Amino acid sequence: MAPKNTTESINVLAHRFLWEPDDIVLTTVMEHHANLLPWRQKARVEYLPLDARGVVDVTQLAARLEQYQSRVKLVTLLGASNVTGYTPPIHAVARIAHQYHAEIMVDAAQLAPHAPIHMLSPDDPEHLDYVVLSGHKMYAPFGAGLLVGPRHRFSQGAPFIEGGGAVKFVTRDTVEWDDPPAREEAGSPNVIGAVAMATAAKTLMAMGMDNLETHERMLDHYLVEKLRAIPGLRILGNPEAMHADRIGVVSFVIERVPAMLVAAILGYEWGIGVRAGCFCAHPYLRQLLHISDRDADRIRQELRDDDGRHVPAAVRISLGFYNTIPEVDRVVVALTRIARQGNRGDYVRNAQTSEYEPRGIVEDYDWAFQF
Ligand SMILES: Cc1ncc(COP(=O)(O)O)c(C=O)c1O
């Protein structure tokens, strides 16, 4: 099916299960909000604990499934974290889920551009029942995504979005829904988006997903090693424990320099684009930054009063296949200076967006394109 993005895919799927009042969805605290909020509307959401190293505890998964048995309708987790880059053992999770007749959904939004995805045959105990992703994460334009799953899940009842294109026949009072996938694709399709997404996927595959993974892993290991050596910089999560089970996504904080300011300095003074904020994964960020219940309550209250000063934030570097070692070196030099002496220019925090805007910096990025 071709929804707009990962978020819409998960909402469509959540609509498709025939929920009973006691049903449970097992997930992890690491998830993007797209893979948390749609389930909360439908079932009781339980979080699989991470172990002391910060990785998914598969023994706990078996224990929960043993405890809840058929009440667990779905195990849903990300293929790669957009905060720490961690790639949980999705096929081991699938095997355990299937032993208890639960299905598994993998949110592959962050995995798709960085590593191969193997759904495997439905008779393989390690197969993935559902995979969702967004085209724009694979370097395609915004507006086209993917939901893959078994046809039977989508063949009963009304679709998530109703309208033309999803039907066989409509009278004044009745409707004969079309078969999937058309049933879930009401409305005029995003043809250009779908073609662009397919072209992006084919281009990545022609480059070889294994090659991209190897190159990005090399860059990631190099980056992590260099970041570790910067005094005052703390990487979130535990890249050593996650070991090879990572893609090139690294989030961190720098002592005494707000994350949003770090991002502004990197952008305005060094021409380096990073993301700063909570990355739509508030529960995970809260755990990684050790924010207490009391502080979380205080932040919530402040936000109601339009005061976002204490909302936690980190900085994230995302590596892609096009990045190079000299680029990693450059960001490391920049961060070393920021950690040592902060910003060169003068910045003003915008209370609405929490972003920092420079004053008196002459923007000249020509040098940035010499790499
Ligand atoms: C892991 C993960 N899941 C889901 C999403 C949501 O993707 P979209 O906004 O394209 O629906 C993102 C986006 O950042 C993501 O990183």
Q: String of b and e for 217-245 (b: at least 16 CB within 10 Å)?
A: bebbebbbebbeebeebebbbbbeebeee
Over residues 8-29, the mean pLDDT reads: 96
Q: Report pLDDT for 27.
A: 98
Which of 29, 280, 289, 296 is labelled catalytic?
A: 280
Residue positions counted in the chain: 371
With a 6 Å cutoff on the Cβ, whether 82 touches ligand 1 is yes
- Both 245 and 166 in one domain: the answer is no
Over residues 2-16, the mean pLDDT reads: 95
Helix axis angle for 191-207 and 209-228, nearest 10°, is 80
- Both 110 and 224 in one domain: the answer is no
- Both 70 and 39 in one domain: the answer is yes
Residue 1 lies in a domain: no
* Amino acid found at 180: P
pLDDT of residue 11 exceeding 80: yes
- Both 238 and 180 in one domain: the answer is no
Q: Report pLDDT for 308.
A: 82
Q: What is the CATH number of the domain that holds 114?
A: 3.40.640.10
Give the Cα separation of 143 and 139 in Å (integer). Answer: 12
Is 280 known to be catalytic? yes
- Both 28 and 134 in one domain: the answer is yes
Residue 137 lies in a domain: yes
Domain count, the chain: 2
Q: What is the CATH number of the domain that holds 360?
A: 3.90.1150.10
Q: Which atom of ligand 1 is nearest to the CA of 137?
A: 10
The pLDDT tens digits for 107-150 are 999 999 999 999 999 999 999 999 999 999 999 999 999 999 99
Q: Which atom of ligand 1 is nearest to the CA of 31?
A: 1
- Both 93 and 178 in one domain: the answer is yes
Q: 187, 204, 221 — which closes off a domain?
A: 204
- 364: CA distance to ligand 1 center in Å? 32
DSSP 345: S
Q: Report pLDDT for 146.
A: 96
Q: Which atom of ligand 1 is nearest to the CA of 7?
A: 11
- 223: CA distance to ligand 1 center in Å? 24
By most ligand atoms within 8 Å of CB, the mutation choice from 32, 77, 78, 146 for ligand 1 is 32
With a 6 Å cutoff on the Cβ, whether 27 touches ligand 1 is no
- Both 326 and 196 in one domain: the answer is no
- Both 38 and 176 in one domain: the answer is yes
Question: Would you place residue 7 in the very low, low, confident or very high pLDDT band (cuts 50, 70, 90)?
Answer: very high
- 189: CA distance to ligand 1 center in Å? 21
Residue 198 lies in a domain: yes
pLDDT of residue 366 exceeding 80: no
With a 6 Å cutoff on the Cβ, whether 78 touches ligand 1 is yes
- 7: CA distance to ligand 1 center in Å? 7
The pLDDT tens digits for 21-31 are 999 999 999 99
Provide the residue range defining the domain that includes 293.
Answer: 209-370
DSSP codes of every residue in 284-313: HHHHHTT--HHHHHHHHHHHHTT--TT---
- 42: CA distance to ligand 1 center in Å? 20
- Both 196 and 219 in one domain: the answer is no
pLDDT of residue 363 exceeding 70: no
Over residues 346-359, the mean pLDDT reads: 88
Q: Report pLDDT for 343.
A: 64
Residue 166 near residue 225, CB atoms below 8 Å:
no
Instruction: Give, rounded to a whole angstrom, the gap between the first and last alpha carbons of the chain.
Output: 40
With a 6 Å cutoff on the Cβ, whether 110 touches ligand 1 is yes
- Both 111 and 47 in one domain: the answer is yes
- Both 330 and 241 in one domain: the answer is yes
Residue 91 tokens, joined: 């096929």
Q: How many CB atoms lie within 10 A of CB 259?
A: 22
Q: Report pLDDT for 51.
A: 87
Residue 99 lies in a domain: yes
More confident residue, 242 or 129: 129
- Both 301 and 270 in one domain: the answer is yes
With a 6 Å cutoff on the Cβ, whether 109 touches ligand 1 is yes
Residue 77 near residue 108, CB atoms below 8 Å:
no
